[in-house]
A and B are shown apart, each in its own frame.
Chain A
Amino acid sequence: MKRIAFILLIMLALTGCKNYRVVDEVQIIQAMGYDVKNGNYIGTAIYPTFKQGPMTKPNILTTSSSTTYDLIPRLSSKSALPIEEGQLRLVLFGEEFAKGGITEVVHSLARNNKIGSRLQLAVAKGDAEELLRITAKKTLSDTLYLSNLVEQNIRAMNLPKMNLHLFLYNYFGKGRDPFLPYFEKKGDFVKLEGIALFKDGRFVGKVNLRDSFLVKVLLNETKNGMYQLRVADYRKKEESRVLLQNLFARSRYEWKKRGERPVLTISIHIQAAVKDYPSWLDMPQKNTLKMVREKMEKDIETSVKNLMEYFKEKEVDPLGIGDFVRSQTRNWNEEEFYREYKEIDIRPHVKVDIIQTGIGE
């Protein structure tokens, strides 16, 4: 016993601690941006400093290189403390960079054990660096601004669930394509503009925020989200909008392949609450409610159809229709399916139930 304890003690004394990464002695980067300019890759990192108080003061590091791999190591040459990417919450890709393909970066993130699965990826219109600089400025001054923004929108608004894991899931999985949130610079602020669609790791198209609600519904993961509906008063010839808050939505797919054209029926059932409506609309009245409902159903149906047409045109499948068909058919073949992807006849059926109109009438 004593001998064991002795050996242990000696060993403790001998080994020392080589892997020290004391939390305040490393430079924790919380957001990272990737851009490409003139064939050179530019990496931008935001890290917080906590000298004055628990409130962060964001700082920015940029570096450029001819490959994406050594961007983070190169950042170290500009930093007083070793760069640590273990608390990375968001990786932002510039539009140009995204068009060139983000596979390399995402693979290296996926291989890195320090990176969490809940890391957010996003695409920026224009340069990622510019956007990150905006978040670091006085007005926002938050290293986590963008990642919090995405998470908040996923939780409460129109954005479908996304993170590194889901990106990889969609990227590797057969019969589905990944998508990411899409940001745009608006003056001194950053605005979420919708969803960026990817095909084989390349940015190919985007969906606006209004339609991303539909994507969320079609992905069958909705508990919330906002949808505006145009209503017109025939008498007044004035167009107004009804704001619907979606409380619960279910979408069900049905796949039939009869004859030449395969048919995909999508039945969507939305239980929504009316949040705001123009004063001339007499909500409590049955007819009005029915009118709004029918209007909404029709509206969503056409929107879904348009959306699907857009996906077909871009040859992307963010909804995982291929994967759905795989789960319905034996010995499904990816190539075969996408050869006739454009031919699929999409038939949306929407049913809306209005369950609340708020506490005042």
Chain B
Amino acid sequence: MNEQGNERFLISPFLVFFIIHCSQVGVGVLSFQRAVMKEAGHDSWMSVIVASCVVHVLIWIVYKIFQSAPNAEDIVSLHAQYLGKWLGNLLSVLLLIYFFLLALTVLRTYIEIIQVWMFSLIGAWQFSLIFLLLTYYTVLGGFRVVVGLCFWGVVIPLWVILPMLFFPLEYAHYRNLLPIFDHSLIDIFRGAKAMTVQYLGFEMLLMYYSFLKHPEQSHKWAQWGNAFTTLIYLIVIFISLVFYNEEQVQHIIWPTLTLAKIPEVPFIERMEYIVLSIYVLVIFPIICLAVWSVSRGAKRIFSIKQRKSVPIILSLLFVVSLFIVQRENIEKLNMLTSKIGFYVVIVYIPVLYIYISIAKRFKKTVQQ
């Protein structure tokens, strides 16, 4: 951070827990069962755990990167330091484009879900306009406000949505989990690959690292955040496994939402409408965080004021989301983003770490 010592903008380390968790759990939770169960069937929960372990390591690597380069504030200056100005900035810009895609994907996918489940006649532009206006208001408040939203985006859905997921256990067939290890390791790893995508989002840590008050202390919380995400995914996959069977899931696009059709209380039923509505609170922080990351990155690279860049980013998001209408295209967008995300976290982050540690050693030997 340039304004060093300005503690007002920094956030307590434990809030990283909420940011990490919030940025990982997005629209994916509503539909990930299909992809994973296609590969690993009723052993999918193992895939969830395997993928989680990988992400734990990746988070560790991210922290290692920043520790080994203490001068770097965020990924932009890190790039500039180790890869030179041109190459570094190019990579940073690519990363920003990825964050932009992330926001776009989440936004468009969620709007599609709303359209399918609730308002088939209301145009997508209305929802994206509202989302983006709210995003504008949030991001103007600065990182602290974005984090505040992350906090609420974790806490409120946790109290509202999670309890609903346990109602379907009324129809649980626990035998579905047996026999354990019916699938080969390769299947499980394939499932884990499909699952890793669901953990994406934590890599925005690369952008907001400098906003943490005591970055070293926050490591623990980041890991806990990921562990909590794993727990949520495990609960969802476990309930889906006992509630559906493998073949049935393949016929349902959003199994988690269909789960919410089961709970019933005397004064209200069909909870999927509540889940969908409350899901705004899950989606919204991700968009805010991604937009904030892009604008922050733009500030660091091109020194554009965030006040100016945010409206540009938002209008760009709005325009692009207008052009993605068909379900096919949305699916393609999802595929594209998850593929890029997958390579960013699985390939790029470790490579960067290795490169930096080698470069450091090399520098040392040169100095000697």
Contacts and interface: CB of A to CB of B under 8 A. Distances in A.
A–B contact (CB under 8 angstroms):
yes
A329 interface: yes
A331 B121 contact: no
B166 interface: no
Interface string B103-136: 0000000000000111111100010011001001
B31 interface: no
Contacts of A327: 175-179
How many chain B residues sit at the interface, stated as a range, is 35 or more
A278 interface: no
A111 B147 CA distance: 38
Interface string B132-166: 01001100000000000000000000000000000
B262 A329 contact: no
Nearest to A324: B175
A168 B262 CA distance: 14
A96 to B, nearest CB: 27
A161 B248 contact: no
B251 A172 contact: yes
A359 interface: no
Interface residues of A, number: 29
Contact of B269 (A8, A116, A172): A116
A4 B122 CA distance: 21
B261 A117 contact: yes
A118 B264 contact: yes
B331 interface: no
Given A118-B261, A169-B171, A113 B116 contact: yes
Contacts of A257: none
Contact of B179 (A117, A168, A330): A330
Interface stretch (A11-19, A62-70, A124-132): A11-19
A15 B128 CA distance: 13
A290 interface: no
Interface in A312-361: 320, 323-324, 327-331
A327 B173 CA distance: 11
Given A169-B245, A172-B248, A4 B136 contact: yes
A172 B262 contact: no
B188 to A, nearest CB: 15
A277 B351 CA distance: 80
A103 to B, nearest CB: 12
A113 B126 contact: no
Nearest to A329: B179
A345 to B, nearest CB: 21
A242 interface: no
Interface in A285-326: 320, 323-324
B261 A15 contact: no
B244 interface: yes
B182 interface: yes
B314 to A, nearest CB: 11
Nearest to A11: B129
B247 interface: yes
B258 interface: yes
Interface string A164-182: 0110110011100000000
B175 A118 contact: no
Given A169-B245, A169-B248, A19 B119 contact: yes
Nearest to A18: B121
A335 to B, nearest CB: 14
A165 B178 contact: no
B112 to A, nearest CB: 13
B270 interface: yes
Interface string B35-75: 00000000000000000000000000000000000000000
B182 A330 contact: yes
B174 to A, nearest CB: 9
A320 B245 CA distance: 12
A158 B245 CA distance: 25
Contacts of A263: none
A110 interface: yes
A117 B262 contact: yes
B117 A113 contact: yes
B126 A11 contact: yes
A156 interface: no
Contacts of B173: 169, 320, 323
A7 interface: yes
Contacts of A169: 171, 173, 244-245, 248
Nearest 10 Cβ contacts at the A-B interface: A327-B178, A117-B261, A173-B245, A172-B248, A18-B121, A172-B247, A327-B175, A19-B119, A19-B121, A113-B117
28 contacts: A4-B136, A4-B137, A11-B129, A15-B126, A18-B119, A18-B122, A19-B119, A110-B251, A110-B252, A113-B272, A117-B258, A117-B261, A118-B269, A161-B171, A165-B262, A166-B171, A168-B251, A169-B173, A172-B245, A173-B245, A173-B246, A174-B245, A174-B246, A323-B173, A323-B175, A323-B176, A327-B176, A328-B179
